Amino acid sequence: MANASSGRHLSIDELMSASSPTCPVCGSNEDDIIESVKAGCAHCYITFEHILNPHIERMHQLRLPEPPSEFSDLLRDYPSFGDIAVSSRIRLARNLAETPFPGAMTEQQQSSVFEQIGDFLGGIAEGEAFRVIDTVELKVENPFEAASLLERHLISKELFHKSEKCGAAISPDEKVSVMINEEDHLRIQALGEGLALKSCLETVDRLETMLSGHFDFANDEEHGWLTRCPTNLGTGLRASVMLHLPAHTDSGSIHGLTARLAKSGYTIRGFYGEGTKPVGRLYQISNQQTMGLSVRQIVENLNALVLRIITREREIQRALDNNHPGYIDDHVWRAFGLLTNARSISGEEAMQLLSAVRVGVSIGELSVPISTIDNLIHKIQPNTLCFDSGRDLSDVEMNSVRAQVLRRTIKGDIAN
């Protein structure tokens, strides 16, 4: 083809770049977008709308059913439902406008974003300042502490495995953490005990307002808050509740529940998120849809759904108890006996036994505080045990230390 102004012929490379747009901000090209189905920056949603929009439509076509009337408008915290709802979490994804997203940033941009956000959160005046952790450095200095942050859900698996400049700012009470340079520049998350979506929402909302007074976050009218992955567009919100569902699990009802949730736009996962098998009969239920509904509606819908599941769990539990009198009591007391006497317990067995003891507490058979059981779930994970012991433990030592932690914590400080 002749170039009209100069009369010379264009090279193959020039022809390719003339027909294939490149993002002027982050330099991503069509192949990058098609391959990853992720935006390199806010501007990519304009440059590559012909590629991204069909994906966005497909990803966000799910529409959640209306919550049943008896549970609608019931967004408050439910401390008394802690026997089934273990913990709640809300996270918001945000990105700085004008800066390429993680995955498309230069090293200098990664450091600059980390420092800007870290400096701000490390210095905020509400209570004590956040502790800012560079996870890449921490993995070298104290690998057990880094992995323990993952086991306590303060950072994600994705952040833990990243080798570019990234980290987290964590509040002194460890109820709030902001991951920096994970998939998005900021992942603001609040954690709460039991069914506490309302207070988690208020916490992230407050922090996001504070941050947005200082940083300009990427958004546009059509897509709302702009995120690296189009699945998070709109609100950038993921709300989750960790539920302990022994009756659903033992009766097999969990399979029907899983299928129903998938159809109505929710995900159900095991204890450690995506792709993990449920351990200790614990399940994490989250919203999938982030667009087309307000933050409040998404959280209200999840809250209503969880209330319905909790009601159903209690019904199945009663039915199991009626059909097999004494079975649950026996199961609970056997587990309690093992946890308070065993000298060596593997992680998997411990999770099963704690699940049984949790049932004992919820039916009023055992007087161990439910928070003790839930703290133990985190305390007995391998890296947390090594971190708390101050050294690397062999498998044999690990099982022995785990058994000791369980015995001492559940029985109180009785000499063992």
Q: Which residues bind Zn ion (CB under 5 A)?
A: 23, 25-26, 28, 40-41, 43-44
Q: Work out the burial of residue 246: count CB atoms within 10 Å of its CB; fewer than 13 is exposed, 13-18 middle, 19 or more buried.
A: buried
Nearer to Zn ion, 10 or 25 (CB): 25
CB of 29 to Zn ion, least distance (A): 10
- Residue closer to Zn ion (CB basis): 40 or 230: 40
CA 371 to chain centre: 20
**Nearest distance, CB of residue 23 and Zn ion, angstroms:** 3
Residue (44 or 241) nearer to Zn ion, CB: 44
Please measure the distance between the N-terminal and C-terminal CA atoms of the chain and give it in whole angstroms.
86
Query: What residues contact 149, with CB distance under 8 A and at least 6 apart?
Result: 133, 135, 138, 155, 160, 168, 170
Q: Which DSSP letter does residue 168 get?
A: E
Nearer to Zn ion, 44 or 345 (CB): 44
Q: How far is the CB of 223 from Zn ion (least distance, A)?
A: 14
The sign one gets for the Cα dihedral 361, 364, 368, 371 is positive
Q: Which residue, chain included where needed, has tokens 């239920």?
A: 285
| Rounded Cα–Cα distance for residues 105 and 37 (Å) | 17
Nearest approach, Cβ of 101 to Zn ion (angstroms)? 8
Nearer to Zn ion, 44 or 64 (CB): 44
Based on CB atoms, which residue is closest to Zn ion, 39 or 309?
Answer: 39
Using alpha carbons, list the distances in angstroms from residue 407 to 7, 86, 349, 382, 387.
85, 22, 14, 17, 19
Q: Which is nearer to Zn ion, 43 or 94 (CB)?
A: 43
The least distance separating Zn ion from the CB of residue 27, rounded to whole angstroms, comes to 7
Please give the Cα distance from 19 to 33 (Å, whole number): 15
Q: Rounded to the nearest whole angstrom, what is the least distance from the CB of residue 167 to Zn ion in the complex?
A: 24
Least distance to Zn ion, CB of residue 343, Å: 58
CB of 43 to Zn ion, least distance (A): 5
Report the C-alpha gap between 339 and 354 in whole angstroms: 8
Instruction: Output the 3-class SS for 186-220.
Output: EEEEEEEECECHHHHHHHHHHHHHHHHCCCCECEE
Classify the C-alpha dihedral 35-38-39-44 as positive or negative. positive
Min dist CB 100 to Zn ion, Å, is 6
Q: Which is nearer to Zn ion, 218 or 293 (CB)?
A: 218
Min dist. Cβ of residue 47 to Zn ion (A) = 6
Closer residue to Zn ion (CB): 40 or 234: 40
Instruction: Return the number of the residue (42 or 335) whose C-beta is nearest Zn ion.
Output: 42
How far is 379 from 390, CA to CA, in rounded Å? 14
Q: Are 268 and 257 in contact (CB under 8 A)?
A: yes
Residue 118 CA: distances (Å) to CA of 112, 153, 166, 173, 392: 10, 19, 10, 18, 30
> What is the closest distance, in whole angstroms, from the C-beta atom of residue 35 to Zn ion in the complex?
14
388: how many CB neighbours lie within 10 A of its CB?
Answer: 13
The CB-nearest residue to Zn ion is 23
- Phi and psi angles of residue 135, each rounded to the nearest 5 degrees, phi first: -70, -30
Whose Cβ is closer to Zn ion: residue 43's or residue 153's? Answer: 43
Taking each helix axis from N to C terminus, what angle separates 395-411 and 370-379, rounded to the nearest 10 degrees? 170
